[in-house]
Amino acid sequence: MTGPVLILGGTGEARALARQLVDAGVAVVSSLAGRVRDPALPVGEVRIGGFGGVPGLTDWLTEHRPTAVVDATHPFAQQISRNAAAATTQAGVPLLALRRPQWQPETGDSWIDVPDIRAAATEVGRRSRRAFLTTGRQDVGAFAAQADTWFLIRVVDAPTADLPPHHELLRSRGPYDVAGERELIDRYGVDHLVTKNSGGSMTSAKLTAARDAGVPVIMVRRPALPDGVAAVDSVDAAVGWVAQLR
């Protein structure tokens, strides 16, 4: 094993993977997109900022010759995942996707499954008068035309896109607990929760709170990985994959 492992990160799984690899004596470079202010940083070497699309990432891989790339980005970070698949193919570098398991509906849940964020906005317009929007700041603009719905919009950093005319902005960073999520639903009279199926425990309390309150969830389906990309759903499995390359 020669070069470092490049971790395309920004998630809790990426930080956990960096920690385990560094503890095992494996050099890592974690790459963060730089879209979140004051991100939690992993151990090991960190670079912040984009590569410049497929050509830039291919050039970086060719210059630094990492042993492997692990795409541990957010499950909805489609562009970087597509870029990683194309660039690693061109540079001849092994690629693995680390994706946390998706949320699954439980007894008592009422989920409206939609294929993308635009479909979620359409369903909000059809169904909701007071929606709790938790899809992230980059997707807020898709709901800007929904003038008949009031939104509680929760984000980490302030959105730059147009906002719906009737809303309250709540800036907050997880993890969240069920009691706090239920209090928000009750206080604001929320009748629908809108979220993306990102999975994980950090923000799953809102699903339990919605279930307990009898509030339907408009759930945006997780996009598929690029064709041919191998994937695992745990940090331990990703560590094992790296070990096999040694």
- Quote the domain boundaries for residue 32: 5-101+224-245
Residue 38: predicted pLDDT? 66
Are 16 and 59 within one domain? yes
Are 91 and 182 within one domain? no
Residue 106 lies in a domain: no
Are 91 and 160 within one domain? no
Burial code (b: 16+ CB inside 10 Å, e: under 16) for 234-244 equals ebeebbebbee
Are 215 and 115 within one domain? yes
- Read off the pTM: 0.90
Write the single-letter amino acid at 14. A
Are 154 and 213 within one domain? yes
Are 72 and 115 within one domain? no
Residue 246: predicted pLDDT? 73
CATH classification of the domain holding 148: 3.40.50
Mean pLDDT of 204-230: 97
Mean pLDDT of 225-244: 96
Are 79 and 122 within one domain? no
Are 138 and 198 within one domain? yes
Are 80 and 49 within one domain? yes
